[in-house]
């Protein structure tokens, strides 16, 4: 690739975003003694505002690269790139916290629960509401969506429900952990294998207008599948993937660093501790959320599902085995069993999702129901 072509892929704004994200993270490291709780009120507000501003700038950079990759690779591959990059970094961060000092028995449970409610209710609800209002209704690929929901029903039950029934004090015993880890990883690996192979077409758009556009692009580029696309555009894909990763890492690192600031601020306001996890999870998945809403505004209902439901399947499928393995190796207790109220909210969310996506076309009314469910979850947090 020539220097001119490289400049077309990496613009000045891309460089500014990367520099801003990593510069903000470096500044936080230097200011760590000053920002150690308790932090004076004005300093706390300014620090949080600055962090969120940097995260927003970086998030739009991630969205730009994700959309370019999705256009080049097509779904489900394009959505998988964004989803796995964010989820893998989140898993690494949770694992790093568990390996650090202190007691973190419930970090995986609280983090994944927050991600589940944000993705399945807030993000998907907002996307369906806005997309439904613009397009009246959006067709989705029911076979692919059903596969996501089937995975979630099983994985969520193994993660949050079963430990309360057969475990000890909300945790699996060592003899139970090993088969749960194996079953979870095997199921998730088989899902990815089928999604990226023989059943890839189950995760593509079914709207005739979108399919015609995709077919036109395929003919104009004379592509012969994902392998030929990678062979012909390998450098572009690698450069954009690298840009996506180096832009998304500061988002996750900044979100992790501001956890202490949020805990401090929410503690002063008398807000529940779990609310900080919800805020952080929302910020970590902000790039994916923005991309999902933009896809819905374009009528791409299946891409919304690939981004939202796909992210949650990856989060549960990778996080739970990772923390269980770390727990066994370090002798830490990993509490996964959820409270009855949260189990009810998870059950309602899964049932609502199955009902929503059983329809041929999803509408604004479906989105409104998901948003109300998220509002009820927030009420549960404050109860």
What pLDDT, on a 0 to 100 scale, did the predictor assign at position 5? Answer: 66
What pLDDT, on a 0 to 100 scale, did the predictor assign at position 2? Answer: 60
What pLDDT, on a 0 to 100 scale, did the predictor assign at position 378? Answer: 92
What pLDDT, on a 0 to 100 scale, did the predictor assign at position 10? Answer: 85
Vertex 285, ends 380 and 127: CA angle to 5°? 75
Nearest to 99 by CA among 273, 264, 316, 334: 334
Vertex 211, ends 222 and 66: CA angle to 5°? 75
What pLDDT, on a 0 to 100 scale, did the predictor assign at position 11? Answer: 84
What pLDDT, on a 0 to 100 scale, did the predictor assign at position 337? Answer: 93
What pLDDT, on a 0 to 100 scale, did the predictor assign at position 225? Answer: 64
Distance, in Å, from the CA atom of 370 to the CA atom of 121, rounded to the nearest integer, reads: 5
What distance lies between CA 16 and its chain's CA centroid? Answer: 24
What pLDDT, on a 0 to 100 scale, did the predictor assign at position 217? Answer: 47
What pLDDT, on a 0 to 100 scale, did the predictor assign at position 338? Answer: 92
What pLDDT, on a 0 to 100 scale, did the predictor assign at position 216? Answer: 46
By three-state DSSP, how is residue 168 classified?
strand
Distance, in Å, from the CA atom of 345 to the CA atom of 353, rounded to the nearest integer, reads: 12
- For helices 259-269 and 234-257, give the axis angle rounded to 10 degrees: 40
> Which stretches of the chain drop beneath a pLDDT of 50?
216-223
What pLDDT, on a 0 to 100 scale, did the predictor assign at position 284? Answer: 78
């Amino acid at each position: 690739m020539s220097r001119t072509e490289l400049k077309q892929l990496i613009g000045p704004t891309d460089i500014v975003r990367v520099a801003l994200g990593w510069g903000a993270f470096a500044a936080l490291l230097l200011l760590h003694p000053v920002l150690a709780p308790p932090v004076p009120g004005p300093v706390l507000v300014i620090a949080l505002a600055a962090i969120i501003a940097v995260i927003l700038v970086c998030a739009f950079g991630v969205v730009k690269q994700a959309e370019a990759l999705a256009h080049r690779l097509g779904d489900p591959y394009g959505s998988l790139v964004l989803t796995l990059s964010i989820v893998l970094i989140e898993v690494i961060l949770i694992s790093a916290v568990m390996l650090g000092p202190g007691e973190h028995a419930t970090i995986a449970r609280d983090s994944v629960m927050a991600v589940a409610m944000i993705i399945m209710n807030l993000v998907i609800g907002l996307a369906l509401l806005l997309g439904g209002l613009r397009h009246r209704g959006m067709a989705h690929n029911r076979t692919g969506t059903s596969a996501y929901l089937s995975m979630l029903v099983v994985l969520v039950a193994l993660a949050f429900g079963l430990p309360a029934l057969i475990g000890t004090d909300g945790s699996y015993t060592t003899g139970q952990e090993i088969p749960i880890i194996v079953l979870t990883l095997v199921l998730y690996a088989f899902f990815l294998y089928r999604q990226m192979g023989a059943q890839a077409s189950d995760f593509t758009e079914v709207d005739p207008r979108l399919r015609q556009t995709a077919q036109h692009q395929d003919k104009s580029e004379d592509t012969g599948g994902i392998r030929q696309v990678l062979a012909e555009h390998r450098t572009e894909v690698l450069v954009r993937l690298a840009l996506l990763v180096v832009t998304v890492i500061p988002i996750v690192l900044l979100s992790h660093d501001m956890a202490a600031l949020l805990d401090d601020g929410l503690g002063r306001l008398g807000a529940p501790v779990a609310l900080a996890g919800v805020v952080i999870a929302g910020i970590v998945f902000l790039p994916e959320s923005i991309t999902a809403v933009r896809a819905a505004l374009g009528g791409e209902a299946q891409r919304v599902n690939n981004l939202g439901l796909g992210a949650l399947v990856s989060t549960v499928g990778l996080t739970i085995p990772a923390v269980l393995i770390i727990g066994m190796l370090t002798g830490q207790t990993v509490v996964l069993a959820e409270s009855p109220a949260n189990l009810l909210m998870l059950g309602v969310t899964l049932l609502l999702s199955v009902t929503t996506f059983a329809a041929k076309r999803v509408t604004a009314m479906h989105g409104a129901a998901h948003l109300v469910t998220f509002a009820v979850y927030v009420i549960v947090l404050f109860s």
